[in-house]
């Protein structure tokens, strides 16, 4: 493994297996050809051509579009592409910050290849020997990445919450931090990747925050997602990300970005530096 | 203007006007078709096909390749594509960190579309009201960007100097900083863009540093490149970058990256946030 290998793993996909998904004249995602061809049989509201999935002209508003997507989501469960719906809805956006065109169950998002937004918080402390990062070890009973290492706080961005609200909620649930501490998180950039999965195309855009924890505050999980937290010096973090598959796939990228921004990974100690810096935001 | 407009301006190019330039089996750059067709007449060591500029098999080592490129550089001056050579040499690299395959006069680098490396240092101070950035106003007699605003320290990366050595040299020349102060500069990432110019394709990769200046140290130019330094609060910096063309073209990108990394520009206050974060490293 190398830093670059993790980036490549998060960007493995072949768009020739997909066709464009459009809503209301906006490109919003990618659908596998095989699913595309099945959709008109699921709901005649889907209008499918050889290179495009669209919807019928009479389906004009947010609720109608969302109902159509609900039918598709139910079909995905029925045929086993998706194990179960999550009951948590993501916005379907032409671009970040725009009005949502529809909502879609989180579990079905990759099947439509829509951009999924999330936030990741690097929790760190500054010591005499440099920085240390708070690492969460995910619980063994999770569906996603059981037992793997994670950021102190991370979560998807559901419809109807602002980033600030979501950060406060996730910081409380995942790390037991109060709102005042959560507000110390500083936005520092974004990570972007597109990964082909069994469900479809996972196009994730992660808003990244750094949170320097005040003395005396340590993260404590409250929702069962994290089994334990550990404080690791950056040398150990870097060696682990570079040399193992112990981390949740996308957390490798968030942590690599942290190592770059804080001067641990440099153009002088890492031959892949430029490819890494550029590859974190494809 | 907008933050994104500056990024687009730095990436305006059309590769269909160029063909690949290869040395020793490695892709290293892009040459305009018209120049490509003239090169075998300049030196028969250039071997040109419809989609590729290469060199003759018997030209095998660094010195021989560099001599060939010297002939091309002299021709570029002769025909007026390049005003004058600089007498400063850049490495021709298959990738950052590799052994140089040749050297090329800095003035001719864009004509061969090779990657040109440089470093930019954001000099800043931390006050009660947040961060302020040291801004250099370039001297009116410069060939490049006269009178425009610049980073505290910036410079191209010539062959034969390490990044640390170049940083120390540029920090002394451009801002009068001693070596101990220069070593406080922290590497924080990279900026990348490809811009078509009258000379050719400018493929710049900038290594970015942040330098928090200790109390009592202010930059003073010693080499005539900068007319004056001013300390601007980030609000003023951001308004100026967003709304004007007062900055050297690529410094807009370095400063925009600073605004992102330090939490001034966020996904909540800037609708183009994701395009900006991803666009800074193409």
pLDDT tens track, chain B, 282 positions: 899 999 999 999 999 999 999 999 999 999 999 999 999 999 999 999 999 999 999 999 999 999 999 999 999 999 999 999 999 999 999 999 999 999 999 999 999 999 999 999 999 999 999 999 999 999 999 888 999 999 999 999 999 999 999 999 999 999 999 999 999 999 999 999 999 999 999 999 999 999 999 989 999 999 898 999 999 999 999 999 999 999 999 999 999 999 999 999 999 999 999 999 999 998
Give the pLDDT mean for A7-33: 98
Is A264 at the interface with chain B, CB within 8 A? no
Beta bridge partners of B177: none
User: E strands along chain A, which residues?
Assistant: 18-23, 26-32, 46-49, 52-55, 89-92, 102-105, 115-127, 130-138, 149-150, 153-156, 186-196, 201-212, 226-233
| % of chain A beyond a pLDDT of 90 | 96
Count how many pairs of residues, chain A against chain B, have C-beta atoms within 8 Å: 85
**What is residue B42's predicted lDDT score, i.e. its pLDDT?**
98
The pLDDT tens digits for A151-172 are 999 999 999 999 999 999 999 9
Does B263 contact A190 at a Cβ distance shorter than 8 Å? no
The ipTM (two decimal places) reads 0.95
C-alpha pair distances (Å), A77 with each of A70, A276, B34: 11, 37, 58
Is A262 at the interface with chain B, CB within 8 A? yes
Length of chain B: 282
- CB proximity list for A271: less than 8 A, separation 6 or greater: B95, B96, B97
The pLDDT tens digits for A192-216 are 999 999 999 999 999 999 999 998 9
Is B164 at the interface with chain A, CB within 8 A? yes
Confidence of residue A142 (pLDDT cuts 50, 70, 90): confident
Rounded distance between C-alpha atoms, residue A126 and residue B201, angstroms: 43
Element of type H or E holding B279: helix B273-279
Does A277 contact B190 at a Cβ distance shorter than 8 Å? yes
Element of type H or E holding A175: helix A163-175
Rounded distance between C-alpha atoms, residue A177 and residue A180, angstroms: 8
Q: A74 exposed, middle or buried (CB, 10 Å; 0-12, 13-18, 19+)?
A: middle
Is B269 at the interface with chain A, CB within 8 A? no
The Cβ of residue B34 has, within 10 Å, a number of other Cβ atoms equal to 9
The Cα angle at residue A243 between residues A238 and A248, in degrees rounded to 5? 80
Rounded distance between C-alpha atoms, residue B146 and residue B154, angstroms: 15
When CB atoms are compared, the residue of B207, B267, B278 closest to A281 is B278
The pLDDT tens digits for A25-65 are 999 999 999 999 999 999 999 999 999 999 999 999 999 99
**What is residue B186's predicted lDDT score, i.e. its pLDDT?**
98
**What is residue A143's predicted lDDT score, i.e. its pLDDT?**
84
**What is residue B1's predicted lDDT score, i.e. its pLDDT?**
86
> What sign has the CA pseudo-torsion A31, A36, A38, A42?
positive
Does B277 contact A97 at a Cβ distance shorter than 8 Å? no
The Cβ of residue B266 has, within 10 Å, a number of other Cβ atoms equal to 18
Rounded distance between C-alpha atoms, residue A208 and residue A191, angstroms: 7
> What mean pLDDT value characterizes chain B?
97
The pLDDT tens digits for B216-232 are 999 999 989 899 999 99
- CB proximity list for B204: less than 8 A, separation 6 or greater: B115, B116, B117, B118, B191, B192, B193, B194, B195, B250
**What is residue A40's predicted lDDT score, i.e. its pLDDT?**
98
Strand B115-127 relative to strand B201-212, pairing: parallel
Does A96 contact B273 at a Cβ distance shorter than 8 Å? yes
Residue pair B235/B133 in contact by the 8 Å Cβ criterion: no
Does pLDDT of A241 surpass 90? yes
Is B126 at the interface with chain A, CB within 8 A? no
**What is residue B144's predicted lDDT score, i.e. its pLDDT?**
85
Q: How far is C-alpha B157 from the chain's CA centre?
A: 9
| pLDDT higher at B230 or A223 | B230
The pLDDT tens digits for A269-282 are 999 999 999 999 98
Rounded distance between C-alpha atoms, residue B205 and residue B208, angstroms: 9
Rounded distance between C-alpha atoms, residue A228 and residue A220, angstroms: 8
Rounded distance between C-alpha atoms, residue A183 and residue A167, angstroms: 8
A23 phi, psi to nearest 5 deg: -130, 130
> What sign has the CA pseudo-torsion B100, B103, B107, B111?
negative
Give the pLDDT mean for A237-253: 98
**What is residue B36's predicted lDDT score, i.e. its pLDDT?**
98
Residue pair B195/B113 in contact by the 8 Å Cβ criterion: no
Does B190 contact A96 at a Cβ distance shorter than 8 Å? no
> What sign has the CA pseudo-torsion B105, B174, B123, B265?
negative
When CB atoms are compared, the residue of B95, B97, B281 closest to A278 is B281
B-chain CB neighbours of A190 within 8 Å are 267, 273-274, 277-278
Domains of chain B, start order:
3-9+116-188+206-279 (3.90.79.10), 15-115 (3.30.750.160)
Does A188 contact B262 at a Cβ distance shorter than 8 Å? yes
A-chain CB neighbours of B190 within 8 Å are 267, 273-274, 277-278
> What mean pLDDT value characterizes chain A?
97
Confidence of residue A144 (pLDDT cuts 50, 70, 90): confident
DSSP state of B207: E
Is B184 at the interface with chain A, CB within 8 A? no
Does B97 contact A271 at a Cβ distance shorter than 8 Å? yes
Q: B226 in helix, strand or coil?
A: strand
> What sign has the CA pseudo-torsion A230, A236, A241, A243?
negative
> What sign has the CA pseudo-torsion B281, A27, A6, A157?
positive
Is A54 at the interface with chain B, CB within 8 A? no
Does pLDDT of A14 surpass 90? yes
Global pTM reads 0.96
Does A190 contact B274 at a Cβ distance shorter than 8 Å? yes
A-chain CB neighbours of B187 within 8 Å are 260, 263, 266-268
Element of type H or E holding B38: helix B33-42
Rounded distance between C-alpha atoms, residue B73 and residue B76, angstroms: 5
Does pLDDT of A188 surpass 90? yes
Strand B153-156 relative to strand B186-196, pairing: unpaired
Q: Between A3-10 and A251-261, two packed helices, what is the crossing angle to 10 degrees?
A: 130
3-state SS of chain B: helix, strand, coil percent to 5? 30, 30, 35
Does B192 contact A278 at a Cβ distance shorter than 8 Å? yes
Does A274 contact B205 at a Cβ distance shorter than 8 Å? yes
Q: B24 in helix, strand or coil?
A: coil
Beta bridge partners of A122: A210
């Amino acid at each position: 493994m190398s830093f670059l290998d993790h980036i490549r793993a998060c960007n493995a996909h072949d768009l020739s297996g997909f066709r464009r998904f459009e809503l209301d004249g906006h490109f919003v995602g990618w659908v596998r050809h095989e699913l595309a061809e099945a959709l008109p049989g699921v709901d005649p509201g889907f209008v499918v051509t050889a290179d495009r999935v669209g919807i019928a002209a009479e389906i004009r508003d947010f609720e109608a579009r969302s109902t159509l997507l609900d039918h598709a989501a139910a079909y995905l469960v029925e045929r086993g592409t998706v194990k179960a719906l999550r009951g948590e809805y993501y916005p379907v956006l032409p671009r970040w910050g725009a009005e949502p065109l529809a909502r879609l169950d989180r579990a079905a998002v990759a099947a439509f290849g829509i951009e999924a937004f999330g936030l990741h918080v690097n929790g760190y402390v500054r010591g005499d020997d440099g920085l240390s990062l708070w690492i969460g070890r995910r619980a063994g009973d999770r569906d996603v990445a059981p037992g793997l290492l994670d950021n102190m706080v991370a979560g998807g961005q559901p419809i109807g919450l602002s980033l600030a609200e979501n950060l406060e909620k996730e910081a409380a649930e995942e790390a037991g931090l109060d709102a005042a501490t959560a507000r110390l998180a500083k936005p520092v950039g974004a990570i972007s990747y597109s990964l082909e999965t069994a469900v479809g195309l996972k196009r994730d855009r992660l808003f990244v925050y750094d949170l320097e924890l005040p003395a005396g505050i340590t993260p404590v999980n409250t929702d069962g997602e994290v089994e334990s937290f550990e404080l690791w010096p950056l040398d150990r973090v870097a060696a682990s990300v570079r040399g193992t598959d112990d981390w949740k796939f996308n957390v490798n990228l968030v942590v690599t970005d942290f190592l770059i921004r804080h001067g641990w990974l440099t153009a002088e100690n890492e031959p892949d530096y430029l490819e890494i810096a550029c590859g974190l935001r494809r």
